[in-house]
Structure 1
C-alpha cells in the first residue's frame, strides 16, 4: 500500500510538471518575453552611421517598442531638431567626447498675425527653415513661459510655414512677432523610465536665438516621471541648461551645467520628488538653481553653485519640504540662497538647510548669504558655514526682510560679514 501511494505521488507530480511546462509554453506563444534592444549610432562601425539628430532619432524609435539602449560613439552630432526620448529608453554617450551640438539658429518676422488655434504662419522670409524643425513663436507681449507656442514644421510653401500643433495665443505681427528655430537639444515629453547619460550637450549659444525655459532647454523634461540625467555636461545653451516641468521623480546627478543664457537648472510647475546631487552649476547668466512653483519633498545634496549671475539657489512658491545638504554656494552675483517674496499661504515652508558652505556671494556689488523675503514657517538652518572674506561682498550671513520670519538656527558658524551676521529689516 505504501509503495502504491509513492507511485501515485510520482505520477501525479510528473503530470503536474508536464502540465505546468505546457502552460508556460502556451503563455510564451501568447505573450513572448520582451527582449530589450540595443543599438549604436555614430561612426562607421555603428548600427546606424551618421552624426546628426536624425540618426539618433532613428535608433530611439527602433528600440522604443521594447525599450532598450541607444549608445552613441564619440564625435560631434549636429542637432537641427530636438532628440525626442521615448519611455523605457536609455541614451548613453561615450563620455564628454560624445557631443550633441545645436546647429545654427534661424529667425524671421511673421507678416500676418499668427492667431490662437492656427496651424500656419506667414513669414517675411522662410529661408533656413525646414520641415522637421521645431519652432518657437512669440511677440513683444507674449514671450515667456506658457505664452510661448512651440511646434514642429510639417511643410513650407513659399513664405507660409505649416506646423503640427495649434498656436496657444494671438500673436501680433505689428508687435515684434517672431518665429525662430530656438528649441531644445534633448526632449523628454510625456515619457517614463528614461535615462540620458555620459555625454555633452552643446547649445552653441553664439549662433542660436534665446529659447524660453518652460518650453525649451539644453535638456527639457515635461509631463514625465522616473527620469535620470547622469554624467552630462550641458554647456552654452541660449536659455536654461536643464528644465523640468510637471514631473515626478526626476534625478539630476554627477553633471555640469555652465554658460546658460538664463538659469542653470529649473525644476517647477509641480515637480515633486526631485533629486539634485553631485552637480557643478556655474557661470550661468541668471540663477544656478531656480526652484519654481510646487517643488516639494525633494533633495538637493552635495552640489556646487557658483559664479552664477544672480542667486546660487532661488526658491519660493509652494516649494516645501526640501532638504538642502552639503552644498557649496559661493561667489554668485547676488544672494547665495534667496527665498522669494510670497504670501504666507504660498511661502516655502518646512525647508531645511544642513551642513552647507555659503561664502563670498554678492560679487556684482553686494548680496547676502541667505536672504529670507517671505514668511516661511519651520525653516531650519543647521550646521552651516557662512563666511565673507576678501572684498566682503556678502554683507550679512542671514538677512530677514520685514515680511520674513526668523528661521530656527542651530550651530551655524558665521564670520567676517561687514553688516553683521544676522540682520532683520
Structure 2
C-alpha cells in the first residue's frame, strides 16, 4: 500500500511558498520535534508509514463501477476515516453529477488511461413558480432527469433582470416534481423563463482544504453540452477552498472553463494540460491569494490564463500557452503584485498578454505586476499586439522579454501603452518583426 500522509498534501501547496523551508513559530515558541496524534490538533501529526488507499475500477478494485456514485462513495469513505487516497484504475467513468471532494483527500488516476467524462446535457423549462424558500421544482416534462442528477437552474431576476444561476442535486421525484438537496434561496418564477439543465462541474468542492488531484484526464464532452459559466463550473471548479494541488491533470473539451477556482488560497496548478475548452484554460478566480501556476500547457481555449478579480501575490511560471482564440494571458481588476515569468505565449488570436481596463472604480487596475523573461510569438491578426497595457494600470515592470513576429509586420505592435497608463518600466526587451516595437500613447496625449 503506498505511503501517504498529510504533509505530502502540503509539500507543494504550502512549503513551495516558503522556499522549501517551513518557517514555524517565529515568535520564539520551541519547534515541534516529536509530533503525536492529539485530538483536535490539525497542524501537526506523525509522519505515518501507511494510510488508507481505496482502489476504484470499472472492472476490479475495492469498489467497482463506472458512475459518479462509485467515486463519490470512495472519497466519502476515505474522508470519514480522516483522509486518504482514492486511486482510480484505468477505465472511463461517466458522470451524472459532480464528484464532491472532501478535505484531506488525494484523488489519483492512471494518467491518460483514467478518463472522467459525462453524457450529453439536457435542458427543460420549469412549469411552475418556486419561491426562494422552496426546495422543489416542477418541470414541463420529466425528460431524462433522474434522482441523483446534478443540475443547474437558470432564470432572470423578476425585479432587475439579472441572471440567476443555482446548482443543485435532484434527490426525490414524483412525476415532473423534483425535490432538491437544498433550498433555492432565490425566486425562480415563470416570468424569468426558468429552466433546469443537466450541467455540473466534473470535480468540485466548497469550504474544504488539503486536497490533491493528480494524474487523470477530465473530458467535458463539449460537443454535446451547453455552456456553464466559469464562475459556476468547469472540468474542475472550486469555491472557498484552501491548499489544493492539481498535478498532471488533463482538463479538456469542457463547454466552459478547464480549471476554475474562486476565493481559493494557496492553490497549485502544476504540469497540467488544459486544452480545447470553450472559455478559460486556467481561471484563478476572484479573491484568490497566492496561486502557483507552473509548467502547464494551456492550448486552444478562449483565453489561456485569466487572472480574475483581486488575485494577488501569484506566480505563473514556465507555462506553454498556445493557440488561444483571444488572449494568451489576461490580467485586470485589482490583480496586483503578481509575477509572470519564463512563459512561452504563442499564436494568440488577439493579444499575447493583456492588462485589462476596468474603470468602474477608483483604482481597479492590475498594478505592481512583473512580466519577465517571457517569449511571446505571433500575437493577433493584422493589428495584433504582443503586450497591451490599458486603462490606468500603473507600476508595471516589463523586463527581459522576447517578442517575435515571424509573419509580415503589417500593423502589429510589440508593446502598446495606453494614454492613461501610469508608470511602466521597460528594460532589456527584444522585439522583432513588428511595425512598431513600442507604441506609447501617453506621449501623444
TM-score normalised over the length of structure 1: 0.88
1:298 corresponds to which residue? Answer: 314
Please report how far the alpha carbon of residue 54 of structure 1 lies from its aligned counterpart in structure 2 after TM superposition: 0.9
Q: Please give the secondary structure, in 1, of the residue aligned with 2:303.
A: coil
Write out aligned runs for 1:5-404 (5 A).
Answer: 36-65=51-80, 66-139=82-155, 147-284=164-301, 286-343=302-359, 345-363=363-381, 365-392=382-409, 395-404=412-421
Residue range with higher mean Cα deviation, 111-120 or 222-231: 111-120
- After superposition, the Cα gap between the structure-2 partners of 1:28 and 1:367, relative to the gap in structure 1 and judged at 3 Å, is closer
Please report how far the alpha carbon of residue 382 of structure 1 lies from its aligned counterpart in structure 2 after TM superposition: 0.6
Distance 2:133 2:290 in 1: 35
Please report how far the alpha carbon of residue 396 of structure 1 lies from its aligned counterpart in structure 2 after TM superposition: 0.7
Q: Please give the secondary structure, in 1, of the residue aligned with 2:214.
A: strand
Contact 1:317 1:346 in 2 (8 A): yes
1:18 corresponds to which residue? Answer: none
Q: Please give the secondary structure, in 1, of the residue aligned with 2:178.
A: strand
2:18 corresponds to which residue? Answer: none
Cα-to-partner distance string for 1:53-97 (whole Å, 9 max, x where unaligned): 111111111110221100011111111111111111100001111
Please report how far the alpha carbon of residue 157 of structure 1 lies from its aligned counterpart in structure 2 after TM superposition: 1.4
Q: Please give the secondary structure, in 1, of the residue aligned with 2:412.
A: strand
Residue range with higher mean Cα deviation, 87-96 or 366-375: 366-375
Unaligned runs of 5+ in 1: 1-26
Cα-to-partner distance string for 1:205-234 (whole Å, 9 max, x where unaligned): 112121121111100111110100000111
Distance 1:393 1:270 in 2: 39
Cα-to-partner distance string for 1:377-399 (whole Å, 9 max, x where unaligned): 22101100112121447711111
2:3 corresponds to which residue? Answer: none
- After superposition, the Cα gap between the structure-2 partners of 1:297 and 1:210, relative to the gap in structure 1 and judged at 3 Å, is same
Please report how far the alpha carbon of residue 251 of structure 1 lies from its aligned counterpart in structure 2 after TM superposition: 0.4
Contact 2:147 2:170 in 1 (8 A): yes
Cα-to-partner distance string for 1:221-262 (whole Å, 9 max, x where unaligned): 111101000001111011111110011110001010011121
Contact 2:368 2:397 in 1 (8 A): yes
Count the aligned residue pairs: 398
Contact 1:309 1:333 in 2 (8 A): yes
RMSD over aligned Cα atoms: 2.6
Distance 2:282 2:38 in 1: 45
